Amino acid sequence: DGDVDYLRVATTTWGQWGVVDDIWQQTETSESSVYVMKMTSFGNENEDDDGGAMEIVGSVNEIGLGERIYAVRFVGVRGYVVTFRQIDPFYTLNLSDPTAPEVVGELKIPGFSNYLHPISDELILGLGQDADENGSTNGLQISLFDVSDFAKPKQVRKYTEDNKASSAAQYDHRAFRYLPESKLLILPLSTPHWNWDIEGIDAFDGFVVYDVDESKDFKQKFNISHFDSGERTCWGEDTLPSRSLVFNGDVTTLKGHKVYSSDLDTGEVQWDINLDKGREEGDGAYCMTW
């Protein structure tokens, strides 16, 4: 991100492999770094003409050796980095001195976060995947990190969805919606299609509203299904991205070819639109009944 006169960038350098003494082996371990670069001021006659190049004035290296970055968030003079291979190191960084950024704290926990969202100066909401000790993912994970002691971050809340469930908000922050006053989190959620025929696994494709009040355990408030068994569905390039909007006490969710408006308190559906209704094949889409 950009912070006044500086640009801060987090990056991973991949591990390298090669032949050493006739043996194929790893020659360099992957590592992550945070660089701070001085921004160029264009049009300033008092500055030398450097062609717009930015100078690296500070860096911190060897973050998460053998792993790669999954999430980064810079907030003022603080930074947060998540790396992952089998476990999830959550790092806190002091960025107050652009010439000497430093790792201050580290927390090792199973799973990982793809997206980090500060909800206060001391609390960071994380969205990612739960995982076992071998790094195999189980399903969506919502975490809450307490960074009041910046050198000793703690995971104080955790909620998981099983059945390999995932959310588009892990990779697209525009699909993520947190309501600070009601402390509700609205996320798109889906289970893999290949699991839908397995007995005992509930198929789901839609949105979930979570109660993420930090004073108590996280839980589902209600869900909004955008999928109904036996319904005719079409696939094509013209599809709605996963988005949610909140106004007048209602939440409107958009996903695929459907739009729903639901009461944010009760979850009762107020109205819906199915863009596949009456649609026929041959207009750039493939349609079938589940």
The 3 state secondary structure assigned to 168-186 is: HHHCCHHHCEEECCCCEEE
Q: Residue 242 burial (CB < 10 Å; 0-12/13-18/19+)?
A: buried
Residue 51 pLDDT: 59
Measure the CA–CA gap between 186 and 33, rounded to whole angstroms: 32
Coil vs helix vs strand at 194 = helix
50-54, 108-112, 150-154, range with the lowest pLDDT: 50-54
Tokens of 41: 């001021």
Answer for the pair 165, 190: CB distance below 8 angstroms, yes or no: yes
Is the pLDDT at 280 greater than 80, yes or no? no
Answer for the pair 88, 109: CB distance below 8 angstroms, yes or no: yes
8-17, 29-38, 168-177, 212-221, range with the lowest pLDDT: 8-17
**More confidently predicted of 269 and 191:** 269
**More confidently predicted of 235 and 189:** 189
Is the pLDDT at 48 greater than 90, yes or no? no
Residue with tokens 């790396």: 83
Q: Tell me the average pLDDT across 135-143.
A: 90
Measure the CA–CA gap between 45 and 239, rounded to whole angstroms: 50
Is the pLDDT at 199 greater than 60, yes or no? no
Measure the CA–CA gap between 5 and 149, rounded to whole angstroms: 28
Residue 122 pLDDT: 96
* Phi then psi dihedrals of residue 134, to 5 deg: -95, 0
From residue 210, alpha-carbon distances to 87, 151, 177, 179, 193 in Å are 25, 29, 11, 10, 23
Helices (H) and strands (E) in the chain, counts: 0, 24
Q: Tell me the average pLDDT across 66-85.
A: 92
From residue 167, alpha-carbon distances to 63, 108, 242 in Å are 27, 23, 9
State the DSSP string of 43-91.
T-TTS---TTPPEEEEEEEEESTT-EEEEEEEETTEEEEEEESSEEEEE
pTM: 0.85
- Which pLDDT band, with edges at 50, 70 and 90, does 76 fall under? very high
**More confidently predicted of 72 and 234:** 72
Residue 231 pLDDT: 60
10-24, 149-163, 174-188, 216-230, range with the lowest pLDDT: 10-24
* Phi then psi dihedrals of residue 195, to 5 deg: -90, -10
Tokens of 120: 């206060």
Measure the CA–CA gap between 139 and 131, rounded to whole angstroms: 8
Q: Tell me the average pLDDT across 198-225.
A: 88
Out of 12-16, 183-187, 278-282, the most confident range is 183-187
51-55, 232-236, 243-247, range with the lowest pLDDT: 232-236
Is the pLDDT at 25 greater than 80, yes or no? no
Compute the radius of gyration of the chain from its Cα atoms. Answer: 23
Residue 214 pLDDT: 96
Computed over every residue of the chain, the mean pLDDT equals: 86
Answer for the pair 103, 63: CB distance below 8 angstroms, yes or no: yes
Residue 170 pLDDT: 96
Coil vs helix vs strand at 280 = coil
Is the pLDDT at 287 greater than 70, yes or no? no
- Which pLDDT band, with edges at 50, 70 and 90, does 67 fall under? confident
pLDDT in tens, 236-263: 666 889 999 999 999 999 998 899 999 9
